[in-house]
Amino acid sequence: MRVFVTGASGWIGSALIPELIGAGHQVVGLARSGASAAALTKAGTEVVHGTLDDLDVLRDAAVASDGVIHLAFKHEIAFQGGFQSAADADRRAVETFGEALAGSARPFVLASGLVGLTPGRVTTEEDGRTPDALPAHLTGGPQTRMGTAHLTLALADRNIRSSVVRLPPTVHGECDPGFMAALVGIARDKGVSGYVGDGSQRWPAAHRIDAAHLFRLALESAPAGSVLHATADQGVPIRSIAEVIGRHLNLRTRSVSPDEAAEHFTWLSGFLAIDSPASSELTRELLGWQPTQPSLVEDLEKGHYFRTDRPA
C-alpha cells in the first residue's frame, strides 16, 4: 500500500516507518519542518510538507494514498493549557480524511487515548464506543478528542475501513520524550520520587515498537469500526514506577497528597491520580498482536531513562 502517515517523524511514527517499509508498504509522511522532512527522507519515506491545519494538503495526500494512519496531535499545545484547541484541530483533520476516503473501502487508523475512560476498573475495547458511554468527568478538550474517536468509528458507515488504536499514557522505550521522562525529571528537580496518595493507581503501558506493530496490523486487517488497545502491561502501579525511579536516582520515595499533587507534578498530576488499567485481550484475539518488547518496569530497569546524556 501507499500509506499516508501524520506524525511520521514523532515518537511512535519513527518506529512505524521501518515497520511499514519492512512489510513492503510505501510511506508518505507529513512534515511540518525542515528537520522533520530531513528525518523522513533519511528513513526512506516520501515527504508532504504541511501541518494539521493545512486541510487541503491532508485531503490531497489522503486521496492519493491507499490508506491513512493519523498519529499527529498537537501535544505541545495541549499540555500547555490549549487542549481544546489541539482537539479541535484534530477533529478538523479527521473530518477532512473522512471526506477524502468516503466510499473507497480504504483503511483509516486513528491514534487515540485510554486514560480516564473507566476509572477504577479495567477498560476493555468494548468500553466508551459511543457518545452516551463517555464518563461524566470528561469535558472540554478530552471530550472533544473522544468525540473524534467516535466519528472515526462512524466512518465505517461511509465505506471506510476505520479503526481506533487507543494508546496508554506511557508508550515507552529508549529516548522516550514522554511521561516517564517527565517523571524522572520531576524526581531529579524535587529530590524525591513521588506518587499521588497511596500510589495504587495503575497505568497501562506498551513499548513503542509493539505499538507501531499494532498500527501496521490495524492498517492491513482491522475490520471497519474496530477499537484496538495497544496495552502490553494491563496496569502498573504508580508507586512501583516511583520506586524504580527512586532506586536508580538514589532518592527516597514518598507519597504526595492530592492537595500537593498539582504543585509537585504540575501538568502530570491529573494523569497520575487516575486509576486506569486497560486490557488488550480482544485486540490480541482479533489481530494476533503479541507484544514482544520489555515491559515498562523492565524498560525502566535498563537504566536509559536515567542517563544524564539522554536526548532532551
E strand or H helix at 293 = none
Question: Which of 219, 205, 235, 232 has the alpha carbon at shortest distance from 289?
Answer: 232
- Find where cell 526512506 sits: 44
Question: pLDDT of 6-35, one tens digit each?
Answer: 999 999 999 999 999 999 999 999 999 999
pLDDT at position 137: 63
pLDDT at position 292: 98
- Find where cell 525542515 sits: 34
Question: Which of 217, 226, 233, 222 has the alpha carbon at shortest distance from 296?
Answer: 233
Question: pLDDT of 145-177, one tens digit each?
Answer: 888 999 999 999 999 999 999 999 999 999 999
DSSP E strand stretches across 142-268? 161-167, 170-172, 193-196, 202-207, 226-229, 233-237, 253-256
List, for the chain, all residue ranges whose pLDDT scores fall below the cut of 70.
78-79, 133-139, 310-312
Quote the pTM value: 0.94
